[in-house]
Amino acid sequence: MKSFNIQFTDKTLQESVQAKLDNLNKPKGSLGRLEELAMQVCLIQQTLNPSLAHPCHLLLGGDHGIEREGVSVSPREVTWQQMVNFTRGGGGVNMFCRQHNFHLRIVDMGVDYDLSGVKGIIDQKIARGTRDFLYEPAMTEEEFDRAIQIGSDLVDSCAAEGCRVLSLGEMGIGNTSPSSIWMSIFGDIPLKDCIGAGAGLNNDGIRHKYEVLSEALQKYQATIPQPSAINPLIYFGGFEMIAAIGSMLRAAELHIIILIDGFIMTACALAAIRLHPATQDYMIFTHCGDESGHQQMLNIVGANPLLHLGLRLGEGTGALCAFPIIDSAVRMMNEMNNFNDAKITKYF
């Protein structure tokens, strides 16, 4: 696996940031979470005047072998159909990227369809979907390394354009299944508490999903009794999910703000944190979605999400919805006057 040099944010600047916050013409602490966000962003960028320049959104697509076991209500062709739809501007992710001026990159990491001729899709296909992890590892170590590298390279291309804030989203039918297993493994939570309806399974569907994933997890544990942090990623992950992890790690290395979306991207964030704990300093957990277990996964990393809107679309839409709150925190630091300049008596 590619190595990353990720440092915890330097807290030396914290006192200066707090002093600036406390001297803005407002009661001390009166802007609540905005002040917490401002502190985090300032420490990430090591400045008292942070920037959200050239925000980028990576939409990563890939199919999953486990989908063939009937663990999702949606068929796998929805993955490629939606990928094409995104190029035409018709998805939820498109709408929010337009609204908040994010540069959208649509990336085929492993969709089970030939998208090479579709304008607007970056072709990084590793294979036409992962293998069925009920019977074998989802990918090889070589494929894992390649997906990590691609994710890292995508961030480099964003950074070269001046990106200071990165949002991540996914498109892949069946990807709640590996997310649930990662949650169970990394969070030491019973698998049954990690499985939800995904795109809309009924109770029978959820029960079947649990039976399939439970069998797969038992086989994995018998095969790899002492796993490293990487083993569950190779065995269960999707190419789009591994690329997301690579993107998160590289963004943290470059001191880029990382906006974490819903259940799948939180599972990827959890994996990234297990690989490099300092990565969490650069992450803003944007919302708690409607997928069963998402709040528990946020609790594992001690995250306090910005929004609770019952979202479960994926694509990174929740992260994009939360962006204006982060923008407000940065504008507060850069545009709000202080007591001295405004000639207002400090009233606290």
| Contact status, residue 210 vs residue 176, Cβ threshold 8 Å | no
Please state the φ and ψ torsions of residue 255, each to the nearest 5 degrees: 60, 45
- Using DSSP's 3-state secondary structure scheme, residue 121 falls into strand
Which run of H or of E encompasses 57? strand 56-62
* Closest C-alpha among 250, 299, 56, 267 to residue 175: 267
Phi, psi values for residue 337, rounded to 5°: -75, 160
Planar angle of CA 314, 97, 256, nearest 5 degrees:
85
CA distance 138 to 62: 12
Given the residues 143, 170, 240, 315, select the one marked as catalytic: 315
Q: Hey, what are 319's tokens?
A: 């992260």
Rg over alpha carbons for the chain, rounded to the nearest Å, is: 20
**Is residue 315 annotated as a catalytic residue, yes or no?**
yes
- Tokens standing for residue 278: 């300092």
338, 25 contact by CB (below 8 A): yes
Q: What are the strands, taking DSSP E only, across 148-302?
A: 165-171, 257-260, 283-285
CA distance 315 to 87: 13
Contact 269, 259 (CB under 8 A): no
**Closest by alpha carbon to 16, among 37, 43, 34?**
43
How many whole angstroms separate alpha carbon 187 and alpha carbon 102?
32
Tokens 């709150």, located at residue:
325
Structure tokens at 14: 């914290």
323 alpha carbon, distance to own chain's centre: 14
Query: What positions carry a catalytic annotation?
Result: 315
